[in-house]
Amino acid sequence: MDKSYAILPCNGLDKCAGCVSKEVAVMLLENTDSEIVCPVFYRVAQTKYNQVLEEKPLLVIDGCNVRCASKLAGEKNLRINKKINITEEAKDHDIVLSHGLRIGENEISLAKIIFDKLTRSSEVATQTKSTVIIPEVLNYKVYTKDKFIFRIPQDEGFYFNENDVWVYVSGNKARIGVTDFVQKSLSDIMFFTAPTIGREIEQFEEVGDIESGKAMFEIVSPVSGMITAVNEKLLESPELINENPYEQGWIAEMALSDFESDKELLYDFEGYLPVLKRKVDEFHV
């Protein structure tokens, strides 16, 4: 196992998900060359951990959607290499967490699944290979408001939902990402939480999130299907979404399950343009 991390776990030990976060951290500590960064101690004596944070990629393990560990990393301007959310992982694997604080068989099973996921680097790299080919040169429509420029691809195959997430459809495959409006609203994007490869997604279900110093944005899937790839470059360089959310900054790819039905609730370019204009005008009021 060549994967090792500087681990920043959830400190919410008053919830079962926080206890599972600790269990995952201990498994990594005992079986890899990882080191734990205590979130409580780090707040008051962060120099103790400066060396390990420089030498090892940072793994953040959040217990729930409060994301206390992620917020601490954001406060300290730490670059996150990978993020895990225990509650979301439990949901993805149909595991019901205990209401108590003692972890049982379900919680141990979940911790082992997450441990395997974090240490199975070569297999994950194979699974996340891109298979969707979009046009080399996109035809953008530009909408300008004050000093801000918002682009929307007009090419055939692009669709948008009300939540400002785009999808490019090619046969039974699709690539999704966020629009220019999202990245400009958030400003400098610092973190990206990827969906799980193989996860079945329903239309309008959350499929990961991105976060800046200003806010967190939940990515709402425009289509239903199975996640087949994620843009791993965003784990190291989430700022690619700011640079170009339609090309280098795409989020994930999917095998579609029912696009003909999904399409009825999406906008094409002509339908999304007035939606964008309305949101931009409201945003700048």
Among the ranges given (80-84, 148-152, 156-160, 176-180), the one the predictor scored with the smallest mean pLDDT? 80-84
φ and ψ of 196, to 5 deg: -85, 130
Cβ contacts of residue 26 below 8 Å, gap of 6+? none
Q: What is the pLDDT of residue 82?
A: 83
Task: Please check the confidence at residue 21 and state whether its pLDDT lies above 60.
Answer: yes
Task: Please check the confidence at residue 125 and state whether its pLDDT lies above 60.
Answer: no
Task: Please check the confidence at residue 285 and state whether its pLDDT lies above 60.
Answer: no
Cβ–Cβ under 8 Å, residues 152 and 245:
no
- The mean per-residue pLDDT over the stretch 209-226 comes to 93
Q: What is the pLDDT of residue 284?
A: 60
Q: What is the pLDDT of residue 164?
A: 98
User: In the chain, where does DSSP find H-type helix?
Assistant: 16-31, 39-44, 50-55, 68-75, 86-92, 105-119, 121-127, 180-186, 233-236, 240-243, 259-263, 269-283
- The mean per-residue pLDDT over the stretch 69-93 comes to 87
Task: Please check the confidence at residue 55 and state whether its pLDDT lies above 60.
Answer: yes
Band of pLDDT at residue 2, cut at 50, 70 and 90:
low
Task: Please check the confidence at residue 127 and state whether its pLDDT lies above 50.
Answer: no
- The mean per-residue pLDDT over the stretch 245-266 comes to 96
Residue with the bigger pLDDT between 13 and 57: it is 57
Assigned CATH for 140-283: 2.40.50.100
Segments making up each domain of the chain, as ranges: 6-119, 140-283
Residue with the bigger pLDDT between 252 and 4: it is 252
- The mean per-residue pLDDT over the stretch 14-38 comes to 94
